[in-house]
Structure 1
Amino acid sequence: MLGLGEDRLRADMNRLLALLFHQGVLDEQFLQLQQLQDESSPNFVSEVVNIYFHESEKLLRNLRTLLMDKEFSDYKKIGIHLNQMMGSSSSIGAKRLTNVCVAFRAASQINNRSGCLRALELLEHEYCYLKNKLHELFQLEQQRILAAGVRYPRQM
């Protein structure tokens, strides 16, 4: 039987995931990622997501640097960074981020600097929201794992 704390934490995790799916932040790819996690790799999802965050922060910095350059005109570079961001976002199930990348790429394909700047702001906003919510989810998961390991002596 699960402890009450573990039950509550599992319910909190499920509510948070349901919210993220309802908001369109995540899609079924995230569930497929979770299915790859098992006892032999208990931190698989958080490790993959942390790699994603690390790489995405570099891509976001590169995009901002490119767009802040007053002499910038190489929109193909933006497209390359966006393709990387879109692919990695899609691979972890970050649906809203992937969709923003698509809109951002459309603006870059027509050399629309102001559209690119607006898309970058939205991309950074969505990225921060995703990062905060997944951090919250992983914290709940760690607390649940700790709660599952706590065994209280039986009262006689």
Structure 2
Amino acid sequence: MVWLWLQGYLDEQFIQLEDLQDDANPNFVEEVVTLFYGDSARLLHSIEQALESNPLDFNGLEAYMHQFKGSCSSIGARKVKSECTQFREYCNARNAEGCIRTFQQVKQEHATLRRKLETYFQALV
């Protein structure tokens, strides 16, 4: 996990999740991350659909991203959370191009973190 921390992908929240894991619940962190990816897939799909509407509902987009950012915070997804903040700023500025461009970054960071976490969990076995 240290290498994910050093690369800036995770923050202290992930360490707190690891601290909650014990012999009674040895897969706690992996289960939380699995729930995160299920929930985040639904939210990303909703955001993608909302970005296809015309005109854009910036308040709705901001609300979806607020929810997604909260999910990211729950597992300590630092880089994804940072992109979420940028997306919300573009929503507040009513900048459609910025929202679309930043959403691609959100999805990219989300996918990168997923790959890194999968590698992390495989290394634990």
Could you tell me the TM-score, scaled by structure 2's length?
A: 0.96
8 Å CA contact 1:75, 1:108 repeated in 2: yes
- What residue is the counterpart of 2:56 in the other structure? 73
Q: Distance in 2 between matches of 1:34 and 1:56?
A: 20
- What residue is the counterpart of 2:4 in the other structure? 20
- What residue is the counterpart of 1:31 in the other structure? 15
SS of alignment partner, residue 25 of structure 2: coil
Q: Distance in 1 between matches of 2:122 and 2:20?
A: 19
Note the residue ranges of structure 2 that are not aligned, 5 or more in a row.
none
8 Å CA contact 1:100, 1:123 repeated in 2: yes
1:116-127 alignment, distance < 5 Å: 116-127=99-110
Higher RCO (CA 8 Å, separation ≥ 6 residues): 1
Post-superposition CA distance 1:130-153 (Å, at most 9, x none): 0011011111112xxxxxxxxxxx
1:41 aligns with 2:25: yes
Could you tell me the TM-score, scaled by structure 1's length?
A: 0.77
The alignment's C-alpha RMSD in Å is 0.9
Q: Distance in 1 between matches of 2:55 and 2:37?
A: 26
8 Å CA contact 2:4, 2:10 repeated in 1: yes
Aligned-pair identity in percent equals 37
Match of 2:124 among 124, 141, 144: 141
* Structure 1 stretches of at least 4 aligned residues deviating more than 3 Å after TM superposition: none
- What residue is the counterpart of 1:88 in the other structure? 71
**How many residues are matched?**
125
